[in-house]
Amino acid sequence: MFITFEGIDFCGKSTQVELLQKFFINKGREVKVIREPGGTLISERIRDILLDRKNSEMKMETEFLLFSSSRAQLVREIIIPALEKNIVVISDRFHDSSTAYQGFGRGLDISKINVINSFAISNVIPDITFLIDISVEECLKRKALRSNIELDRIEISSNTFYQKVREGYLKLANEEKRFVVINGTQSIEKIHKIIIERISLIKKGLIDEN
């Protein structure tokens, strides 16, 4: 099973990915957790280029192709082999991030994004995608609480950019059935509970058989 998490920065994805990973481990399931961009040696190197604030000259086309390259490597080196071994794969972001950030956020042509996304991911589509939705105001509040952390090249983007990304995600979720939209201002425990319930709905055996 392939599970992805999406949402604007600070929505709580990493927190939920970690809880879900622990949940599966407790159930005796083998699970592989990855993050995007990254997850392989090559992809982590591309991540460094993408997030480095020194690269302020990066064009949006370059940015999109780098995210796609990182993803193409991750899919072939890690995701496909893991799924073939029946390992549960959980990814913190996947191709929907490119549609939301580079497409809706930066304004690249969505039909071109779709073509390159398909090429990068081959036919590895997530079984379920959790969109943790928070407002840009909530994002800013959480960002301020973590003022000790240096923000990366994308995290310093404007509020208007984040607003477009959020709306883009909601539009995508409306179009594709694999999405589950969760209000990210609920408690961490409540969100985790919703996630488990939804996974068990689509794949009962994955959670119950052990």
Please, which residue, 7 or 103, has the CB nearer to ligand ADP? 7
Residue 10 binding ligand ADP, by CB under 6 A: yes
User: Of 121 and 180, which CB lies nearer to ligand TYD in the complex structure?
Assistant: 121
Distance CA 63, CA 51 (A): 10
Binder of residue 93, out of ligand ADP, ligand TYD, none (CB less than 5 to 8 A by kind): ligand TYD
Cβ closest to ligand ADP, residue 11 vs residue 89: 11
Q: How far is the CB of 190 from ligand ADP (least distance, A)?
A: 8
**Residue 184, burial from CB neighbour count under 10 angstroms (0-12, 13-18, 19+):** buried
Q: Does 11 bind ligand ADP (CB under 6 A)?
A: yes
Cis peptide before 37 (omega within 30 of 0): yes
Among 80, 100, 77, residue whose Cα is nearest residue 157: 100
Given ligand ADP, ligand TYD, none, residue 67, with its beta carbon under 5 to 8 Å by kind, binds: ligand TYD
> 148 is in the binding site of which of ligand TYD, ligand ADP, none (Cβ under 5 to 8 A by kind)?
none
Q: Is 93 helix (H, G, I), strand (E, B) or coil?
A: coil
> Looking at the DSSP assignment, which residues form a beta bridge with residue 5?
92, 130
- The yes or no reply on residue 152 touching ligand ADP (CB under 6 A) is no
Of 7-15, 61-69, 72-80, 114-122, which segment contacts ligand ADP by CB under 6 A?
A: 7-15
Residue 19, C-beta contacts closer than 8 angstroms, at least 6 positions apart = 188, 192, 195
Asked if 122 and 80 count as a contact pair (C-beta separation under 8 A), the reply is yes
Question: Is the CB of residue 116 less than 8 Å from the CB of residue 65?
Answer: yes
How many residues belong to the site for ligand ADP (CB under 6 A)?
14
Does 191 interact with ligand ADP (rule: CB under 6 A)? Answer: yes
- Site residues for ligand ADP per CB under 6 A: 7, 9-15, 142, 146, 184, 187-188, 191
